[in-house]
Amino acid sequence: MARSSRKDEILQAALACFTEVGVDATTIEMIRDRSGASIGSLYHHFGNKERIIGALYLAGVGQYAQLLQEGFAKAASAEACVKLLVSVYVDWVVANPDWARFVLHSRGRVEAGEVGEQLREANRDHHARIFDVLQDYREAGAFKDIPADCFSSVVIGPAQDFARNWLAGRTRTNLADCRELFMQVAWDAVRAG
């Protein structure tokens, strides 16, 4: 198992602080104490708290995107690809509930912050990769005629909505128990015929 970097340790310490006391109430000193890093190391890697927030956000969505790309390399059908979009999302949220909660609640702040353009670029790249993976299936008529910019929302929307409620403690059913259901709902929503 690879040893985590100082940067990763700082991000995980920040996530723990954000989870315990909230993003706004967390100070650089709290992150320093939690991570064991020096102030110099924090500023060397990030510069300020807003950049820590942005880096943590980008790392989370980047991890999901990487898992998705690895899955696409093995998926052999339109159905497998669509279901993969949902299963990877659900699995990532279940494995990382604090990080997922942070990502769901911090998007606007990150978009408006110093790494906003970096986030927009990462999102464009992510959606372009999904579009490219699905292009041959789309051309072969595997999907309903859905505008390209709506496709991901139709596929992931129900799982994402339930995940928000699950993360907030508003559901009785565990998100993991709904994985297969949401995968099938996504496929049924977009498949042709």
Q: Is residue 104 domain-shared with residue 37, that is, in the same domain?
A: no
- Residue 146, domain extent: 57-190
Average model confidence (pLDDT) across the chain: 94
Q: Is residue 26 domain-shared with residue 103, that is, in the same domain?
A: no
Q: pLDDT exceeding 70 applies to what percent of the chain?
A: 98
The per-residue pLDDT for 154 is 97
Residue whose token pair is 């909505």: 161
The per-residue pLDDT for 4 is 66
Q: Is residue 37 domain-shared with residue 92, that is, in the same domain?
A: no
Q: Is residue 61 domain-shared with residue 38, that is, in the same domain?
A: no
The CATH number for 43's domain is 1.10.10.60
User: Would you say residue 2 has pLDDT above 80?
Assistant: no
Neighbouring residues of 90: CB distance < 8 A, sequence distance ≥ 6: 159, 163, 175, 176, 178, 179, 182
Q: Is residue 99 domain-shared with residue 147, that is, in the same domain?
A: yes
Q: Could you say which of 47, 65, 82 is where a domain stops?
A: 47
Local confidence band at 148 (pLDDT 50, 70, 90 cut-offs)? confident
> Contact at 8 Å (CB) between 84 and 91?
no
User: Which CA distances in Å does 139 have to 29, 41, 88, 148?
Assistant: 54, 50, 24, 12
Local confidence band at 182 (pLDDT 50, 70, 90 cut-offs)? very high
Q: Is residue 162 part of a domain?
A: yes
Q: Is residue 77 domain-shared with residue 113, that is, in the same domain?
A: yes
Q: Is residue 69 domain-shared with residue 43, that is, in the same domain?
A: no
Q: Is residue 52 part of a domain?
A: no
The per-residue pLDDT for 193 is 86
The per-residue pLDDT for 5 is 86
The per-residue pLDDT for 76 is 95
**Of 93, 54, 66, residue with least CA distance to 182:** 93
Total count of domains within the chain: 2
